[in-house]
Amino acid sequence: MSALAAALRDAAPMVERVAAGVSLAAEFDRIAEEGLSTPRGALIDLTHGTLRRYGRVQAIVRQLSRRERGDALVEALLWCSLYALESGRYADYTVVDQAVRACGLLERWNAKGYVNALLRGFLRERGSLETRIQADPEARYQHPRWWIEIVRNAYPAQADAVLQAGNSHPPMCLRVNRRRVALAQYQERLQQAGISARPLGNEALLLEHPVPIERLPGFDRGEVSVQDAGAQRAADCLDLADGQRVLDACAAPGGKSGHIVERAQVALTALDADAGRCARLERNLARLGLGARVMHADCTRLAEWFDGTPFDRILADVPCSASGIARRHPDIKWLRRADDVAAFAARQNAILDSLWQVLGADGKLLYATCSVFPQENDAVIEAFLARTPGAVRLSLPDRGAAQGLPDAERDGFYYALIRKPA
């Protein structure tokens, strides 16, 4: 059995289930339990690559198929095979041959001729086909139409770049734990290990090429963590100082919590509403050798967790559409719906109103999302300020813009710092 045929056999059902509404993370959890033979890296390549091009591969199949929408698994196999053809990793004839073999492995023997004909048709008509599908915005930008419209309205001059970034491979950035090792010293150790990187900030090193975490010197000893440079702005913008009482209200999996306790000697309480994610948060803090009070709780249900002592600083890293990190989770674009944005905004407003009650006088709250949608960002903050007497929005301590857009160096994050009157 060829490795590509087997990988297509395993990837196609995963993509089929995502198309039906299942998250890709849930699919990887499922295959971990089933113990499929295809290496995880090969499955990540096929599933993530296909879903990044989902609008495009769907449009190609629609253009070339003379069938009405048929077998969902065969369609998913075609989408994965088209991605494999366009990836440049395989010879064209290899992909066609292996896709036909995958039909047998999936017990879709009757689809062999159809799959063979459609893929060969794509190779013959590639030039004219490109012109035809460019008229379809979902095929051109590989995002849902409603998503494209929000981005175009919000960032007319930057919309194409934002959408293109959402289809790209994400950068890999490290956060050096300066309690353990200096930035320049760790960069030198990376170079000795054959890993090229350059500084992006106080603790950030951007890798020239992603590597497995097993190759990172000192990772198990807590000397370094993997964290996007955009996410690292949270610790920069919280205005931390030793001795503060700090709350990370939506903390798991713990990247920002870890950065907070690396930065300053604070008493950190880290909340999350998901028990499994709390366990992961505790493991991450243990790896860093740093402590915090981790609690499984919904931050809006104050009676269940708040002990009555106000916080000096609060990080409200709220649930959101994740539109700024879609390239890391390419299924998000297709699982989200337009009305989800308003639902997230309602939840974000509720979180702000609750956390304001536990912020001490003259304390500061940092609102954070990994979204590029203004409805979850400026609109939420403006509404909060309008209904909250005394709340004042401050300039960000790192002097950066509130809205960071995804680019080659970092993901898209939004930050707003609000002070409570003394």
Q: Which of 21, 28, 75, 18 is nearest to 52 (CA)?
A: 18
Token pair 């309602």 is at which residue? 346
CA distance 204 to 224: 10
Examine the residue annotation and report whether 370 is marked as an active-site residue of this protein.
yes
Residue 25 has which token pair?
């993370």
Q: What is the amino acid identity at position 175?
A: R
The interaxial angle of helices 92-105 and 3-19, nearest 10 deg, is 70
Q: How many residues does the chain have?
A: 422
Q: Are 174 and 227 in contact (CB under 8 A)?
A: yes
| Rg of the chain taking only CA atoms, in angstroms | 23
Q: What is the amino acid identity at position 351?
A: I
The interaxial angle of helices 40-52 and 3-19, nearest 10 deg, is 50
**417: enclosing H helix or E strand:** strand 414-419
Token pair 């309008």 is at which residue? 386
Q: What are phi and psi of 103, to 5 degrees?
A: -55, -45
Task: Give, as one character, the DSSP assignment of residue 403.
Answer: B
What lies within 8 Å, CB to CB, of 122 at 6+ separation is 60, 64, 82, 85, 129
What lies within 8 Å, CB to CB, of 361 at 6+ separation is 310, 420, 421, 422
Q: What's the 3-state SS for 55-104?
A: HHHHHHHHHHCCCCCCCHHHHHHHHHHHHHHHHCCCCHHHHHHHHHHHHH
- Catalytic residue of the set 80, 237, 299, 370: 370
Residues annotated as catalytic (active site), given as ranges = 370
